[in-house]
Amino acid sequence: MRNILSSLALAASLAAASAPVTALAEDGKDTVAYSIVADLTSQVGQRLGGTAREAYARDWAVKRLTALGLTNPHIEPYTMPGWERGAESAVLLGAAEQKLAITALGNSGATSANGIKAPMVYFASYEALKAAPDSAVKGKIVFIDNAMRAAQDGAGYGPYGTARRSGPSLASSKGAAAVLIRSIGTDHNRDPHTGFTGWDKGVSPIAAAAVSAPDADLIALRASKGVAEQVALTLTPRFTGNVQSGNVVAELPGRDRSLPPILVGCHLDSWDLATGAIDDGAGCAIVTAAALQAVKDGPLLRTIRVLWAGAEERGGFGGEAYAKAHAKEPHALAMESDSGAGRVWRVNIALGAADKVLGDTIAARLSDMGVVRGENKAEGGEDVGFIAAAQKTAVIDMGQDMTHYFDLHHTPDDTLDKIDPADLQQNVETWAAVLKIAGNAATIAPQG
């Protein structure tokens, strides 16, 4: 790992986490963001959307936002389809028997409790599976490989992620017994990456899991030597029906409450394999600490609304519920932090044509802070993207360095030690700079 705590940094983190949350550290540093993510990961831990752990996290969040002095922290509930992980194991059978490190994808179907045994068929990519005749797939355990590479902007996640998002449905539609994919990630740990998979209309969910990169290497090596693999697979996740989830919303009121607010969002839920430090504890820490820093010298003209969305990982349920609940309420600007804890290196600014000066002012301020300007296109993510799309709200995307993000994303390794406090704080500073400028802008038009 790259961003790891040395023992000195751990000592610092312990000190930071123990400090009063709204205070500055002895050296004058703002420790709000680090304290939020340290406490969320250690006092709450995993908080899968739609589970009791997420509900516990919401209660914790309301308390923390209240303690931080935000106005009216409250929960906005909604319901969603529940899903929970069960037992999971996979073994390459035969004389050269080997256990694989696997984890079920979110929305995976299940095998029987005793598992299944079937031959495995190897595909080098989603496209290769797509091109295969159904007869090559029927009754088999499909393996889908990929070759994702790290990128500063995380660009590979879109195309390579297709194997995870759509591969299982495609395999099921071709009659596969189950599906395994190489983790959508860039690390070489035995820690598989979970994540959302979807089932096309009319397609039955089958057991679908990710294997870690080293296990995928093993499968690829054996496949290249013509080994006829027989696999024993047990996956017993279950759909738990309609369950309760919710968004946590709070505000820092502006001087003019008649003006549409600035919405800053993150997601409170995490996958269930780790403590959700970078995904997305860091994001909630960043948007909240930045909003607080922006109003440190007094309220801005506009209200900043903080959204800690629910159940993003399970399918953007919180962001969608927010958009529905607040559909009739105009928003001036939407921003989201859900790309880890790496430093901000680029800003994409999507404002209405009339707001060119505002965009240039923000870009110039960020340039002073070492952030380059990217394109005039921005859309947020699953948390603020639904409302922004519906209202054509102005959006600013703060592009974080994601070079190492997909080493950790959706794995058991998404833990506090991976966060570099200095990088986290650089996010807070750059976000606060944007919020101060935009929050004092008298007019912000929709994009189009």
Catalog residues that contact a second copy under the rule CB under 8 A: 1, 4-5, 7, 10, 13-14, 17-18, 38, 41-46, 53, 56, 95-99, 101, 147, 149, 187-191, 213-214, 217-218, 220-222, 224-225, 274-275, 411-413, 415-418
Which residue, 277 or 300, is less far from a second copy as judged by CB? Answer: 277
Q: Name which of 313, 317, 329, 339 is nearest 406 in CA terms.
A: 339
Q: Name which of 83, 318, 103 is nearest 198 in CA terms.
A: 83
Distances in whole angstroms, Cα of residue 319 to Cα of each of 76, 84, 194, 381 = 11, 21, 21, 9
The residue behind tokens 């859900």 is 338
Which residue, 337 or 411, is less far from a second copy as judged by CB? Answer: 411
Least distance (Å) between residue 97 CB and a second copy: 7
Which residue, 90 or 398, is less far from a second copy as judged by CB? Answer: 90
**Sign of the dihedral defined by the CA atoms of residues 37, 40, 46, 49, in that order:** negative
User: How many CA atoms lie less than 13 Å away from 17 in the CB half-sphere?
Assistant: 16
Which residue, 45 or 299, is less far from a second copy as judged by CB? Answer: 45
Check: CB of residue 277 under 8 Å from CB of residue 423: no
Backbone φ and ψ for 92, nearest 5 degrees, come out as: -75, 120
Least distance (Å) between residue 177 CB and a second copy: 24
> Mind giving me the DSSP string for 335-346?
EE--S-SSPEEE
Looking at the DSSP assignment, which residues form a beta bridge with residue 316?
none
Looking at the DSSP assignment, which residues form a beta bridge with residue 435?
none
Least distance (Å) between residue 49 CB and a second copy: 17
Which residue, 38 or 444, is less far from a second copy as judged by CB? Answer: 38
Least distance (Å) between residue 96 CB and a second copy: 5
Which residue, 94 or 119, is less far from a second copy as judged by CB? Answer: 94
Least distance (Å) between residue 6 CB and a second copy: 9
Which residue, 275 or 391, is less far from a second copy as judged by CB? Answer: 275
Residue 231 identity (one-letter amino acid): V
Least distance (Å) between residue 426 CB and a second copy: 21
Q: Name which of 261, 259, 441 is nearest 357 in CA terms.
A: 441
Task: Label residue 421 exposed, middle or buried (CB < 10 Å: 0-12, 13-18, 19+).
Answer: buried
Which residue, 14 or 155, is less far from a second copy as judged by CB? Answer: 14
Task: Label residue 73 exposed, middle or buried (CB < 10 Å: 0-12, 13-18, 19+).
Answer: buried
